[in-house]
Amino acid sequence: MRSMRCCGPLTPPARWSGNFSKKSPCGHRRSATSAPGIRNSNLFEARNLSTMLSLACPDPRSAALGLFEILINSIEHGILRIGYDRKTELLASGDYLAHVEKMIKAHPRPDDIVVVRFNRMEDRLVFHVIDPGPGFNPKPYMEFSPERTLDTHGRGIAMARFTSFDTLEYIGNGNEVRCEIFLP
């Protein structure tokens, strides 16, 4: 993606640094060069970012859903270190959202950040989401599992993979995911 120089720099909103584009007054596309990130974020901000990024996609609704699932996983598991069993307990108690928001506000590492890199190429859109967590083994979550059918969660990655993205792969220790949407 190229930045257009005739229109001056593109300044993203203060909370984000972003590789996104918008049309300048003279009609050229401008792009920032760094990646959108979520710092000290809440679930509402993750939804806003996924919605904003999805607007570049051929099917924004589907893309927004997949991006939101990936961002939420990065916040819950990468930053807040909520494990599968703990999430099950919180959902069962009915206190999940309040607990997550409380954890975000009290988070001991305020510099933890989820980084999202977005690139528009000629034939595809590429999203990289990287969190500071220890990672995990994504293999059991890439497909819908009969063992988790009745669980209250645990299907977001498979749902994103099958309904939102043409490719979805975890890289390294599982704290980085690359998702692609092919352009028509």
pLDDT digits (tens, 9 = 90+) for 144-160: 777 766 666 667 788 89
38 pLDDT above the threshold of 80: no
What value does the mean pLDDT of the chain take?
77
pLDDT confidence of residue 149: 67
Higher pLDDT, 57 or 43: 57
5 pLDDT above the threshold of 50: no
Class of domain 40-182: alpha beta
pLDDT confidence of residue 165: 96
Domain spans of the chain, in order of start: 1-34, 40-182
Give 129's contacts (C-beta < 8 A, 6+ positions apart). Answer: 70, 71, 74, 114, 115, 116, 176, 177, 179
pLDDT band at 24 (very low <50, low <70, confident <90, very high): very low
